[in-house]
């Protein structure tokens, strides 16, 4: 295992997480003024679910991950069961 350090805000050094961090900051953190922990958790969880489950992804042919997962499961069932 090797430890690698990246400069913050340098997408050319870490092309996966830096774009995600930028989206998270712009679409969630900058949109809300958090004053306590409970509302923060709820808003962040709502944003995370939308980002991971509902937002279309190019790598999935423009389908949202939840729908792509349903298609994959149906294909598996039809093929193997």
The pLDDT score that the predictor gives to residue 46 is: 92
pLDDT exceeds 70 at position 15: no
Among the listed residues 42, 69, 39, the one whose alpha carbon sits nearest the alpha carbon of residue 53: 69
Confidence of residue 9 (pLDDT cuts 50, 70, 90): low
1 domain-assigned: no
Query: What's the structural domain count of the chain?
Result: 1
Can you tell me the mean pLDDT for 44-62?
A: 88
Cα–Cα distance, 64 to 41 (Å, whole number):
23
The pLDDT score that the predictor gives to residue 14 is: 65
Where in the sequence is the domain holding 55, given as residue range(s)? 11-79
As given in the structure block, the two tokens for residue 26 are: 């712009």
Specify the pTM. Answer: 0.54
Q: What would the pLDDT profile of 23-50 be if each residue is shown by its tens digit?
A: 888 888 887 777 777 878 888 899 889 9
Cα–Cα distance, 17 to 35 (Å, whole number):
26
Cα–Cα distance, 32 to 35 (Å, whole number):
9
Cα–Cα distance, 1 to 14 (Å, whole number):
17
4 domain-assigned: no
């Amino acid at each position: 295992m090797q430890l690698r350090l990246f400069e913050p805000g340098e997408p050319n050094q870490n092309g996966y997480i830096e774009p995600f961090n930028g989206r998270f900051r712009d679409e969630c953190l900058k949109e809300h003024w958090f004053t306590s922990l409970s509302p923060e958790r709820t808003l962040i969880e709502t944003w995370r679910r939308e980002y991971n489950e509902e937002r279309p992804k190019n790598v999935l042919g423009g389908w949202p991950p939840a729908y792509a997962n349903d298609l994959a499961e149906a294909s598996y069932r039809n093929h193997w069961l």
